[in-house]
């Protein structure tokens, strides 16, 4: 492959990571643009992956490091594409690199600044879905790539011209002088031969189903929040508890905001049945004597080894209950889930310590403007439209897509779509 060929990859989740590595290994120069301070996407937030129960960080971190070390990949974190103009056979792209306020070249990631930050442990940590705490200067999570600290300008008391205005302790603590409060956004321009979109997904906000009690009862949490509670690098070090409260019984509700016309999402999110099965398994494994219920519409265990995994759960004594819960409320016994058991045609009220909502997949918010500026067609729900025979191609020549941005997928399918999209890109540019 001619080394001068260049592809812009937007989004550094497992899809964008795999596509970037395949392209770069194939001789293509890659500009990988990630909006967040680190690559990794949703997968790096999860504890383990179904059905093999591999540790997610152990699988993904080596790939993330490989991205940062690859000589043909230019990783731009905290960055967004602001303009794309079709030019000649390719595209001219403008990228805004947002300020980190810490010099990436100088920061050794020693962490001294974070220890002395006057706001240390006071700000909800995004990576832990708000359940952990960080300071105004922080590393997003221990395995972050790039392995560089950053300052959150919304909180930092120097940037807000507050208490740290005169003598910020973080600056005194940083021996290499990496902190730079005058950092500004930078506009970068590149000429690229093709574009690969891998911006992933958002999750349904369960506030949209008030009857399920999310936001009203602290013991009603989302599946992603449970992932953070289960993860060894999470706020509880992997212990499933909320503060000092150790739940012993769990009720998992599948299809929250999926296959549900009342919230405009008649489609299946394709991963919730299996990640709920994974959660039920891990709970059984870690919480002695745990009582576990799962409510479902039907169980879709379509992948390799998935049906066998689901069967194992039933052997472990997980109660699968067919029905859609109508209400979660609290009385003297704790949380109660009211659900019609469709097999016995009886309404049941199940008392439980914790309710976990398997929230459905949604297109990434805020991408509509970008897609329409490029003329990219989306489906009725906002996922990028693709042809069944070429599920990695958009309607615009030279613009490809992979991962969940084209529709719900699990990790193996996201990886497969990424490799296909990378190959299609190479074919197009050569």
Contact positions vs ligand FAD (CB under 6 A): 10-16, 33-36, 41-43, 46, 49-50, 80, 198-201, 203, 223-224, 227, 271, 275, 278, 364, 403-404, 409-412, 414
Check residue 157 for interaction with ligand SF4 (CB under 6 A): yes
Q: Closer CB to ligand SF4, residue 137 or residue 230?
A: 137
Q: Which does 35 bind (CB under 5 to 8 A by kind): ligand SF4, ligand FAD, none?
A: ligand FAD
Return the residue of 7, 33, 95, 113 that touches ligand SF4, per CB under 6 A. 113
Q: Which does 201 bind (CB under 5 to 8 A by kind): ligand FAD, ligand SF4, none?
A: ligand FAD
Rg (alpha carbons) of the chain, rounded to whole number: 23
Q: What are phi and psi of 251, to 5 degrees?
A: -125, 115
Check residue 108 for interaction with ligand SF4 (CB under 6 A): yes
Return the residue of 169, 208, 238, 303 that touches ligand SF4, per CB under 6 A. 169
CB of 165 to ligand SF4, least distance (A): 8
CB of 176 to ligand SF4, least distance (A): 5
Q: Which does 111 bind (CB under 5 to 8 A by kind): ligand SF4, ligand FAD, none?
A: ligand SF4
Q: What are phi and psi of 76, to 5 degrees?
A: -110, 100
Q: Which does 123 bind (CB under 5 to 8 A by kind): ligand SF4, ligand FAD, none?
A: none
- Cβ atoms of 135 and 114 within 8 Å: the answer is yes
User: Measuring CA to CA, which residue among 28, 33, 29 is closest to residue 12?
Assistant: 33
Check residue 136 for interaction with ligand SF4 (CB under 6 A): yes
Check residue 359 for interaction with ligand SF4 (CB under 6 A): no
Q: Closer CB to ligand SF4, residue 52 or residue 109?
A: 109
Check residue 107 for interaction with ligand SF4 (CB under 6 A): yes
Return the residue of 94, 96, 112, 385 that touches ligand SF4, per CB under 6 A. 112
Check residue 118 for interaction with ligand SF4 (CB under 6 A): yes
Q: Closer CB to ligand FAD, residue 19 or residue 113?
A: 19
Q: Which does 15 bind (CB under 5 to 8 A by kind): ligand SF4, ligand FAD, none?
A: ligand FAD
Check residue 119 for interaction with ligand SF4 (CB under 6 A): yes
CA distance 257 to 259: 7
Q: Closer CB to ligand FAD, residue 173 or residue 242?
A: 242
Each residue 56-95 as x (binds ligand SF4 by CB under 6 A) or -, in order, gives ----------------------------------------
CB of 34 to ligand SF4, least distance (A): 19
Residue 27, CA atoms < 13 Å, CB-side half-sphere: 9
CA distance 263 to 257: 6
Return the residue of 2, 52, 109, 372 that touches ligand SF4, per CB under 6 A. 109
Q: Closer CB to ligand FAD, residue 204 or residue 320?
A: 204
Q: Which residues of this protein are in contact with ligand SF4, per CB under 6 A?
A: 102, 107-113, 117-119, 135-137, 149, 151, 156-158, 164, 168-170, 173-174, 176, 178-179
């Amino acid at each position: 492959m001619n080394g001068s060929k260049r592809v812009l990859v937007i989004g550094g989740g497992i899809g964008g990571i795999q596509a970037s590595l395949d392209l770069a290994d194939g001789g293509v120069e890659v500009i990988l643009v990630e909006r967040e301070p680190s690559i990794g996407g949703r997968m790096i937030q999860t504890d383990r992956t179904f059905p093999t129960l591999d540790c997610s960080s152990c699988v993904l971190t080596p790939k993330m490091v490989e991205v940062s070390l690859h000589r043909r990949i230019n990783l731009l974190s905290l960055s967004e594409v602001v303009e794309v103009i079709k030019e000649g056979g390719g595209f001219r792209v403008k990228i805004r690199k947002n300020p980190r306020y810490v010099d990436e070249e100088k920061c050794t990631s020693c962490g001294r600044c974070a220890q002395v930050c006057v706001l240390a442990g006071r700000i909800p940590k995004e990576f832990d879905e708000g359940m952990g705490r960080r300071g105004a200067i922080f590393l997003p999570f221990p395995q972050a790539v790039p392995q560089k600290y950053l300052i959150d300008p919304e909180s930092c008391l120097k940037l807000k011209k507050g208490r740290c205005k005169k003598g910020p302790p973080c600056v005194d603590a940083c021996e290499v002088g990496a902190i730079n409060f005058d950092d500004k956004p930078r506009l970068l321009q590149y000429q690229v031969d093709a574009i690969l979109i891998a911006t992933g997904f958002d999750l349904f906000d369960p506030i949209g189903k008030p009857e399920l009690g999310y936001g009203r009862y602290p013991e009603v949490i989302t599946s992603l929040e449970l992932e953070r509670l289960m993860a060894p690098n999470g706020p509880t070090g992997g212990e499933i508890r909320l503060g000092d409260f150790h739940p012993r019984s769990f009720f998992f509700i599948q299809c929250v905001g999926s296959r549900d016309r009342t919230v405009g999402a008649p489609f299946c999110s394709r991963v919730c049945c299996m990640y709920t099965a994974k959660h039920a398994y891990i709970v059984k494994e870690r919480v002695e004597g745990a009582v576990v219920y799962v409510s479902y519409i039907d169980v879709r265990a379509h992948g390799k080894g998935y049906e066998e995994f689901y069967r194992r759960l039933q052997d472990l004594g997980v109660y699968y209950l067919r029905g859609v819960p109508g209400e979660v409320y609290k009385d003297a016994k704790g949380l109660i889930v009211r659900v019609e058991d469709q097999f016995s045609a009886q309404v049941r009220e199940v008392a439980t310590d914790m309710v976990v909502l398997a929230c459905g997949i949604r297109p990434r918010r805020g991408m509509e403007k970008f897609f329409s500026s490029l003329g990219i067609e989306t489906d009725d729900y906002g996922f990028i439209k693709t042809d069944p025979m070429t599920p990695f191609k958009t309607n615009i020549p030279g613009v490809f897509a992979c991962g969940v941005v084209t529709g719900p997928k699990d990790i193996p399918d996201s990886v497969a779509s990424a490799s296909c999209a990378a190959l299609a890109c190479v074919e197009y540019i050569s």
